Amino acid sequence: MNVIIESSLQTLKKSKILLDSLTDNLLSDSSVSPYHSSIGSHIRHILDFYDCIFNINSNNEIDLTARRRHRAVELECSCAIQYLDSIIDKLTNFEFDMTDSILVTDDLGLGKVEMVYSYGALFSQANSHTIHHYAIINYILEGLNISIKDSDFGYNPTTPKQTSLN
């Protein structure tokens, strides 16, 4: 299996650890300032990004703005786990060459734009995007006084580790 896919799978499996430790009420709680977003909205957003990749059309094009936005994923841990499992299954069975080119549509803030990517670049972006949202989720967890059993959750692998001073 490709190292980019393995990295993405490793990162996404952290969502399972998180979801297994939450209730539906905690998943959908949007009380934490300043943005009042929920853990569920971030999980749904992460999974929608991957889902777009797997919805490549017959012209070898992917539209990252065409997200499904399943509201139930934001509200119910069981729906979020089911969606996560489907993305993990698709990633596990992914059979494209990481150097293959694809046309990606996204909105970078000034309207939709088309760009040529490789699958490797797109999956790398998806993995970094996931870690970025985990950092936001970590902030929400802190605001809700919840801790999970993963000290690396929300940290990029390149983030320097704090060492104790003796």
pLDDT at 148: 81
pLDDT for the residue 1: 59
Q: Share the mean pLDDT of the chain.
A: 91
Q: For 41-82, how does the pLDDT look when each residue is reduced to its tens digit (9 = 90+)?
A: 999 999 999 999 999 998 999 999 998 888 999 999 999 999
pTM (2 d.p.) = 0.91
- Rounded (to 5) percent helix, strand, coil in the chain: 50, 10, 40
CATH topology of domain 3-143: Four Helix Bundle (Hemerythrin (Met), subunit A) (1.20.120)
Residue 15: closest CA among 25, 4, 27: 27
Cα 129 → chain centroid:
6
Burial 125-149 (b: 16+ CB within 10 A, else e): bbbebbbebbebbbebbeeeeeebe
User: Which carries the bigger pLDDT value, residue 48 or residue 148?
Assistant: 48
Backbone φ, ψ for residue 106 (5° rounding)? -150, 165
Segment among 4-13, 56-65, 149-158 with least mean pLDDT: 149-158
* Portion of the chain with pLDDT greater than 70, in percent: 95
Smallest CA-to-CA distance from 85 within 154, 3, 16, 4 is with 16
**C-beta separation of 28 from 75 below 8 A:** yes
From residue 98, alpha-carbon distances to 3, 25, 49, 94 in Å are 10, 39, 17, 10
The pLDDT value recorded for residue 95 is 84
- Domain boundaries, given as residue ranges, for the chain: 3-143
Contact 127, 152 (CB under 8 A): no
